Amino acid sequence: MLQRGSGNRSVPKALLIATAVAQLIIRHGSAENTQEAKQGDACSAAVYIMQLANSIDEQRTELINEISKANADMLQLETALALPQWKTKSTALTPLIGLVLAEQQKLVSKLATCNKAAADAARSANIQAGRNWAVAELAEITTASSAGTAASTLTAGEKVQDTATLETIHGDTCTNKEAGSIAKAKTGVDISALKTLTLFKLRQHSTAANRKICLGHCDHSATACTTTATNHKTKTQSKKFLEEDKSETIDMQASAHSQPEQATEEENGKTYLKAHKRHLNWRLYNFNLNKPCKATYTSLGKAATTQTNEPLRRSVLAVIKGPNEKYDTDNKDQQKVINTFIESNYGKEESDFKEKVWNKIREPDFSYSIGGKDFKGKITAITTSDHITIAIGASGYTAPTSKECKETSLQAKPTPEKCQEDTKENECKKDKDCEHSDGKCKLKEGVKAENDAKPTNTTTSHSFVINKAPLLLAVLFTLLGF
């Protein structure tokens, strides 16, 4: 228990001090972890921007991976539809094709935009990373100290020059640094949290002593300096006379500021480098703002058990009512039928879908032979080429036999013409459709009119059958806009 008196005021004071210190530590730690702190020097900024470019490329890869998920589901569904054990259950599987197609189209439609935006942004970022890297290495240029050049006389007007050499022309400190030692630049790159990007340049050293490269002096004392000319020397000192300049930045706060301008035609017309800063700002800004590669594949289990998923509902209606049935959200009876179908075939939760559909497709082993090739194992192991073979083999197509080929023609053979002109009169009159007049056998006018109105039979039976499942899929593609 605290004692009353003056001592009790020291407790809250101590707490306040401790709290203040803790806040300072937290703020300091937070500041060191900001995107800007990772660009503390040219070398760190070079590594940071290279990682930024990598993170942009990774977003493109992530989108492609999402498309691959949709492709894998489509492959397994179509293969299942082609296998004999699932043909009796095609009504339940077919709507899922439409569902995956809708998801697939959503992702693929973003890919072209994503590819261009990511390639442009990463290219500009890598150019700037190279510039920052060059600054880090060129800032290490160092003159070499020399023994000096001695004077030859002590006469007035004598000039003594020394030849300067460079000890370091192109530093490699940044290149040879281990990634972990580069100011926390490699990890935690987040373009969405980036406020400013630092563009490093070179400038002359801000410390005056570093700019004093030449030194003239007498390396003796007293009379030795006044009597002996060779004691006077001009020397070059070892100095780093350049340093990094981090005064130039570009604004990356997409949500807080107006959009940067694109490079003008005049700038683009001169050189690409002339427009580099504009390109860098505009491309990174817009990539951050528009997120062209951000899209995820809704898992089939989740999508199939979502009653409000319109592509699913339209697919279900096409399967159970036919392609001519109009989808009407105001038709309560129609919507109820769709709801019942979804719940009974796919369930209410993802776990229901897994139990009712996915596990039954993916877990059992199957065996199937087409054209002398045996397919065995799980459906998840089916490759694209195997899937195509199975799908074609099970599509219902049968090649025409030689007999059918003989009987089938694009145009039927014409029957012999009736009432030919040179038919003798007796023979002509034997046919009730003919008459003989003006010395010729002719078709009666009434019979001619009747025959002209009849269609000509030009074909016989066709030699292949199309399963109803592919036709239904074609209808689905049309309804869903593919």
Give the ranges where 209-252 is alpha helix by DSSP (H): 223-227
Q: Tell me which of 376 and 321 has the higher pLDDT.
A: 321
Sign of dihedral through CA atoms 24, 26, 32, 35? negative
Q: What is the pLDDT of residue 135?
A: 94
For 419, residues 6+ apart whose C-beta sits below 8 A from its C-beta are 428, 431, 433, 434, 435, 441, 442, 443
Percentage, residues of the chain above pLDDT 90: 22
Per the listing, tokens 């702190």 go with: 37
The Cα 276–Cα 280 span in angstroms is 6
Give the ranges where 358-438 is alpha helix by DSSP (H): 359-362, 384-393, 402-407, 425-430
Taking the alpha carbons at both ends of the chain, their separation in whole angstroms is 77
Q: What is the pLDDT of residue 461?
A: 36
Q: What is the mean pLDDT of residues 251-266?
A: 60
C-beta pairs of 377-382 under 8 Å, 24+ apart in sequence: 379/76, 379/79, 379/80, 379/83, 380/76, 382/75, 382/76, 382/79
Q: Where are the domains of the chain?
A: 300-401+467-479
**3-state DSSP percent of the chain in helix, strand and coil, to 5:** 55, 10, 35
For 56, residues 6+ apart whose C-beta sits below 8 A from its C-beta are 118, 121, 122, 125, 191, 287
The Cα 101–Cα 475 span in angstroms is 13
Read off the pLDDT of residues 189-207 as tens digits, 9 standing for 90 and up: 888 888 889 999 999 999 9
Question: Taking every pair of C-alpha atoms in the chain, what is the biggest distance, in angstroms?
Answer: 160
Read off the pLDDT of residues 325-363 as tens digits, 9 standing for 90 and up: 899 999 999 999 999 999 998 888 888 888 888 888 888
pTM: 0.65
Q: Tell me which of 290 and 398 has the higher pLDDT.
A: 290
Q: Please report which helix (H) or strand (E) contains residue 216, including its range.
A: strand 214-218
The per-residue pLDDT of the chain, averaged, comes to 77
* Burial label, 373 (beta-carbon count in 10 A; 0-12, 13-18, 19+): exposed
Dihedral of CA atoms 109, 114, 116, 117 in degrees, nearest 10, equals 140
Q: What is the mean pLDDT of residues 226-248?
A: 88
Q: What is the pLDDT of residue 88?
A: 61
Structure tokens at 361: 């497709």
Read off the pLDDT of residues 109-159 as tens digits, 9 standing for 90 and up: 999 999 999 999 999 999 999 999 999 999 999 988 888 888 888 787 788
Q: Which of the four pLDDT bands, split at 50, 70 and 90, describes residue 297?
A: very high
Q: What is the pLDDT of residue 299?
A: 85
Q: Which of the four pLDDT bands, split at 50, 70 and 90, describes residue 108?
A: very high
Sign of dihedral through CA atoms 390, 394, 396, 402? positive
Q: Tell me which of 123 and 461 has the higher pLDDT.
A: 123
The Cα 162–Cα 155 span in angstroms is 18
* pLDDT at residue 182 tops 70: no
Q: What is the pLDDT of residue 178?
A: 63
* pLDDT at residue 422 tops 50: yes
- Angstrom CA distances, 365 to 357, 361, 376, stand at 15, 9, 7
For 309, residues 6+ apart whose C-beta sits below 8 A from its C-beta are 99, 303
* pLDDT at residue 39 tops 60: yes
8 A C-beta contact, residue 300 and residue 354: no
Structure tokens at 118: 């990511």
The string of DSSP codes covering 114-171 is HHHHHHHHHHHHHHHHHHHHHHHHHTT-EEPP---EE-S---TT--------EEESS-
The Cα 432–Cα 419 span in angstroms is 10
Q: Of 177, 198, 56, which Cα lies nearest the Cα of 131?
A: 198
Instruction: Tell me which of 355-359, 367-371, 458-462 is least confident.
Output: 458-462
Q: Tell me which of 391 and 240 has the higher pLDDT.
A: 240
- Kindly give the pairing relationship between strand 214-218 and strand 434-437: unpaired
Q: What is the pLDDT of residue 202?
A: 92
Give the number of other Cβ atoms within 10 Å of residue 276's Cβ.
Answer: 17
For 49, residues 6+ apart whose C-beta sits below 8 A from its C-beta are 39, 125, 126, 128, 129, 132, 197
The Cα 188–Cα 288 span in angstroms is 16
Per the listing, tokens 């930024």 go with: 52
